[in-house]
Structure 1
Amino acid sequence: MTDTIFENLFVLELANNHWGKIERGIKIIRDFARVVKFNNVNAAIKLQFRDVDNFVHPDFRDRADIRYIKKTIDTHMQWDQLRLMV
């Protein structure tokens, strides 16, 4: 069996461009879908799942002066929200 599903596959990155908002995440996915369909390309959307409680050390959780920690905390989504985008 050959895995042709991966031939000419474009991987579209969502990351945390949803800004922690499910509505924005779904809009981005729908916008991607329109472009993919219009151009007849094979594509997948990559999401990033983080267990923020374990990802950011407790001693640093309140460090708003560290850009990446602030962004990670501010854009955190619950698993049930992420499931809506999958």
Structure 2
Amino acid sequence: MPHCVLWTETDWRFALETARLVEEFWRGELNRAAELRLRSAKLGLTHEDRLKIRVRYVEPEDQAEDEAAVDSSSVTRLEDRRKRLSGAP
């Protein structure tokens, strides 16, 4: 799932805990089904779940067009901004 690249450590932990629940479900603990359904929706595992949480996959645009449209001299570098905000020399 491409949207996983945006996950934080807690999102990955949630996914791993969900995987354990899936294993328990398949080993016969059927009482895990309701929790799995809820977790599946939160993770966006099915197309319907992704629609509900508004995850959309789009084709990337040609990067050359984007770079040509931006005058890089007017853009502040993120590293410079972080240094300025942290008070670093």
| TM-score of the pair, normalised by structure 2 | 0.28
Ranked by relative contact order (alpha carbons within 8 Å, sequence separation 6 or more), the top structure is 1
- Structure with greater strand percent: 1
Indicate the structure (1 or 2) with the bigger Cα radius of gyration: 2
